[in-house]
Amino acid sequence: MQKKGMVYLIGAGPGDPGLFTLKGKQIMEQADVVVYDRLIGPEILELARPDAEMIYVGKASSDHALPQEQINALLVDKAMSGKLVARLKGGDPFVFGRGGEEALFIREHGIDFAVVPGITSAIAVPAYAGIPVTHRDASSSFAVITGHEKPGKSMSSIHWDKIATSIGTLVFLMGVENLAFIVENLLAAGRSQDTPVALIRRGTFPDQAVLTGTLADIVAQARQADFKPPAIIVVGETVALRNDLRWREQQPLWGARIVVTRARAQASSLVERIRLAGGEAIEFPSINIVRSADMKPLHAALRRLTQYGWIIFTSVNGVDIFFEEMSSQGIDIRELRGVKICAIGPATASRLAQRGLIVESIPEEYRAEGILAALKDSLKPGENILLPRAQGARKILPAELREWGVMVDEVETYQATAVESIDSGQKEKILRGEADYLTFTSSSTVSNFVKILGADKVKAINASVKVACIGPVTAATAREFGFEVNLMPAKYTIDTLLEVIIQDYHHHQADISR
């Protein structure tokens, strides 16, 4: 018997990928088919299995990519053929998302469905602008209202006379183009013209924009600012709380656009930190981490682990591949008993700690020279050392160790290769000079970034962006390629790299406001 399919109606939240639910993530990771609307970010779509079928049915305001009947039919069709279907919708699926219609149609066809609610823009977007929808003494109720109703419709489904004065906070979705009509109705029904109003566009995104006024002047203000959708309109006394509660604009990286060039698998920690600090991360993964085609040298080393005095790990990738191969070769972790471990820096050490290994040595300075300084007094001549690392890494470490009379097994386990397909939108952003900072976290991110964008573009890119390098080796490579390096932390970690960017951004902001 064929497996029975099913449809999950999933709310994707208002924009910030961090606002997607855990349950939504769980289903996305299992789905065979993902059917998604406009404005669903890549971070959420990337949660899908690599072999999942991705179907875009979004609407770009006037031209409908797929009529609703066809979307309904598609969902039923896929589920009938036994597929697990994730139907992703912006915000919450049952708040002006036609989720109810789709659910009814699915049920009529005898197919199972479940709903995963999402964070609706109606509440989250005001929150990101520092506006609570309820507040003691200011508003004890709120309503979410369609702003789409056309002027001139003879029988309004909105009872303006009832909502205008009886509800504390009014949140209109899809209403910016109808702002004048909405304001006129509220005033005609008796809401005071002094009532504060906020328009919020692309709320929760890094380019969120807020315009505030009152019912008396918001229409003129919006016209003057040429305020565009998608946006929500918030009407009510709590809007005034924004003066005291705005928080996004106060985040340390608010307004900063930072290019992240690391491999996608590694980039998440930097990207997440940029977002948590309120900045925009422009993901431009210039490298892919590819395992070496020939793992025999590593396998040979793994079979004689007990003979090593030390293993030196110089990257998180190196750690991951080492242990994956150990397990695929059926080698027990206890073979490492008695072997001392050196990690180039705290990130590598913490990856080892996740595997239950406490390292003997982390150098003061997180690069090859630092490792040499740290191990100088610990190594004995004739001792065997294993160095699993990237193809093309600097020679100084094994060369110097050999000078000391140590036996070094240098084993190449992976390679950083240039990414072939890059989102052209991101490329344009960088070439147009829209980024504020360009981060490089290894020499291969520099060389491959230049390979992708072209050596002739370096000068032009550098003219409008500050280059931040994780450490001196990366910085030297960046200079070789013609970049002027503006920022480098004293300690070579992602955290400190972000700190110097934050400091620099603040000085810069202070200069502007002076």
Under rule CB under 6 A, residue 111 binds ligand SAH: no
Q: Is 456 a catalytic residue?
A: no
> Comparing C-alpha atoms, which of 210, 151, 157, 205 is closest to residue 175?
151
**Min. distance of Cβ 396 from ligand SAH in angstroms?**
50
Of 17, 126, 203, 388, the one binding ligand SAH (CB under 6 A) is: 203
User: Smallest gap, in angstroms, from Cβ of residue 179 to ligand SAH?
Assistant: 11
- In the complex, minimum distance from the CB of residue 98 to ligand SAH, in angstroms, rounded to a whole number: 9
The nearer residue to ligand SAH, 28 or 145, going by C-beta atoms, is 145
Please identify, using beta-carbon distances, which residue of 178 and 261 lies nearer to ligand SAH. Answer: 178
Three-state DSSP at 240 gives helix
* Spatial strand order in the sheet of 33-36: 53-56, 33-36, 84-89, 6-11, 112-116
Q: Tell whether residue 48 is a contact of ligand SAH (CB under 6 A).
A: no
Q: How many CB atoms lie within 10 A of CB 203?
A: 22
Subset of residues 60 to 89 that bind ligand SAH, contact rule: CB under 6 A: 89
Task: Examine residue 90 and tell whether it contacts ligand SAH (CB under 6 A).
Answer: yes
Extended beta strands in 65-152, E state: 84-89, 112-116, 142-146
Contact residues for 164 (Cβ-Cβ < 8 A; gap 6+): 185, 186, 189, 190, 191
Site string for ligand SAH, 230-269 (x = CB under 6 A): xxx-------------------------------------
Which residue among 8, 20, 36, 96 contacts ligand SAH (CB under 6 A)? 96
Contact assessment for residue 488 and residue 498, using Cβ atoms and an 8 Å cutoff = no
Q: Which runs of consecutive H residues, i.e. helices, occur in 238-295?
A: 242-245, 264-276
Which residue's CB comes closest to ligand SAH?
Answer: 91
Residue 88 CB, nearest distance to ligand SAH (Å)? 11
Q: Give the angle subtended at the CA of 266 by the CAs of 128 and 469, to the nearest 5°.
A: 85
Catalytic residue among 59, 429, 457, 491: 59
Q: How far apart are the first and last CA of the chain?
A: 73
CA angle, corner 36, sides to 31 and 38, nearest 5? Answer: 155
List all residues 6 or more positions away from 503 whose beta carbon is below 8 Å from its beta carbon.
Answer: none
SS3 26: helix
Report d(CA 406, CA 384) in Å as an integer. Answer: 6
DSSP reduced 3-state for 225 = helix
Considering only the stretches 23-31, 121-129, 269-277, 422-430, report the one whose residues sit in contact with ligand SAH under the rule CB under 6 A. Answer: 121-129
Contact window for ligand SAH (CB under 6 A) among 229-237, 402-410, 438-446, 466-474: 229-237
- Asked if residues 497 and 470 have their Cβ atoms less than 8 Å apart, the reply is yes
Binding residue for ligand SAH, selected from 47, 52, 121, 351, defined by CB under 6 A? 121
- Using CB under 6 A, which of 72, 120, 139, 317 touches ligand SAH? 120
Assess 279 for contact with ligand SAH (CB under 6 A). no
Q: Which of 173, 271, 411, 473 binds ligand SAH (CB under 6 A)?
A: 173
| Smallest separation (angstroms) from ligand SAH to the CB of 133 | 13
Q: What is the DSSP letter of 116?
A: E
User: Is 59 in the active site?
Assistant: yes
Q: Which of 72, 204, 212, 315 binds ligand SAH (CB under 6 A)?
A: 204
Of residues 293 through 312, those in contact with ligand SAH by CB under 6 A are none
Question: If binding is defined by CB under 6 A, does position 178 make contact with ligand SAH?
Answer: no
- Cα–Cα distance measured from residue 325 to residue 330, given in angstroms and rounded to the nearest whole number: 8
* Longest CA–CA separation in the chain, Å: 93
Tell me the C-alpha distance between 316 and 282, whole Å.
22
What gap in Å lies between CA 27 and CA 467, rounded to an integer?
39
Among 9, 10, 12, 15, binds ligand SAH (CB under 6 A): 15
Q: Which of 16, 37, 320, 409 is catalytic?
A: 37
Task: Name the residue nearer to ligand SAH (CB basis): 13 or 398.
Answer: 13
In the region spanning residues 124 to 153, those forming contacts with ligand SAH, defined by CB under 6 A, are: 125
Q: Which stretch binds ligand SAH (CB under 6 A): 2-10, 28-36, 117-125, 440-448?
A: 117-125
Site size for ligand SAH, by CB under 6 A? 24
How many Å apart are CA 336 and CA 357, to the nearest integer?
A: 9
Per the CB < 8 A criterion, the answer to whether 48 and 75 are in contact is no
Residues contributing to the site for ligand SAH (CB under 6 A): 14-15, 89-92, 95-97, 120-122, 125, 173-174, 200-204, 229-232
Query: Catalytic residue numbers?
Result: 37, 59
